[in-house]
């Protein structure tokens, strides 16, 4: 069966950045299962898997626009250190949850800390990065009606 909309696909993958540094991998774990066409993968990777079959292996390069987007400067801001309340040992790389203007919870990463201010970044950690995937398609099957209705694999 070829990968297409309403298929459940199981893949093993290795994700690296432009320098070849491994960012994620399914090695040593169960394969990643997803419902094709339900936005369970980044668009660029899902598009490249379309039409392939179990047993296929492929290398895929995904540009930021088809992955986690470009870096949005509006999602980087400097806030008063007092916004972090009782947190005393603020350091770059720390992650927090913040409420956006629409009330939606957003993860932010501390980029820089000074005596008075903290620079935070609300972009996805992989925003603006070209991603390289090595993918092995393990299985492809038709999704059940329930999986299609729920938008995910059961």
Check residue 84 and give its pLDDT: 87
Residue 68 has what pLDDT? Answer: 95
5-9, 14-18, 20-24, 103-107: the lowest-pLDDT one: 103-107
Q: Which fold has domain 73-121?
A: Thrombin, subunit H (2.40.10)
Report the distance separating Cα 114 and Cα 96, nearest Å.
Answer: 17
- Could you give the residue range(s) of every CATH 3.10.50.40 domain in the chain? 7-68+127-150
Residue 61 pLDDT greater than 90, yes or no: yes
Helix, strand, coil percentages (3-state) for the chain, rounded to 5, are: 15, 40, 45
Q: Can you list the positions of beta strands (E) in the chain?
A: 7-16, 22-25, 32-35, 57-62, 76-80, 95-99, 105-113, 117-121, 131-142
- According to CATH, the topology of domain 7-68+127-150 is Chitinase A; domain 3 (3.10.50)
Q: Which of these ranges, 70-79, 91-100, 127-136, has the smallest mean pLDDT?
A: 91-100
pLDDT tens string 137-149: 999 999 999 999 9
Phi, psi for 75 (deg, rounded to 5): -90, 5
The DSSP symbol for 149 reads H
Taking CA atoms, 3 is separated from 18, 56, 57, 89, in Å, by 27, 11, 13, 49
Please report which confidence band the pLDDT of residue 152 belongs to, taking 50, 70 and 90 as the band edges: very high
Write out the residue limits of the CATH 2.40.10.330 domain(s) in the chain.
Answer: 73-121
Contact 144, 65 (CB under 8 A): no
pLDDT for residue 100 is more than 80: no
Q: Is the pLDDT of residue 101 over 80?
A: no
């Amino acid at each position: 069966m070829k990968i297409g909309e309403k298929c459940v696909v199981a893949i093993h993958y290795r994700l690296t950045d432009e320098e070849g540094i491994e960012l994620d991998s399914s090695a040593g774990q169960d394969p990643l299962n997803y419902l094709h066409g339900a936005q369970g993968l980044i668009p660029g990777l899902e598009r490249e898997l379309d039409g392939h079959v179990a047993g296929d292996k492929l290398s895929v390069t995904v540009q930021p626009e088809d992955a986690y987007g470009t870096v949005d400067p509006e999602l980087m801001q400097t806030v008063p250190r007092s916004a972090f309340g009782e947190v005393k040992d603020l350091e770059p790389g720390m992650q927090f949850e913040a409420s956006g203007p629409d009330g939606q919870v957003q993860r932010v990463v501390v980029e820089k800390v000074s005596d008075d201010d903290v620079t935070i970044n609300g972009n996805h950690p992989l925003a603006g990065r070209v991603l390289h995937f090595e993918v092995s398609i393990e299985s492809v099957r038709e999704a059940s009606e329930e999986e299609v209705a729920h938008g995910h694999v059961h």
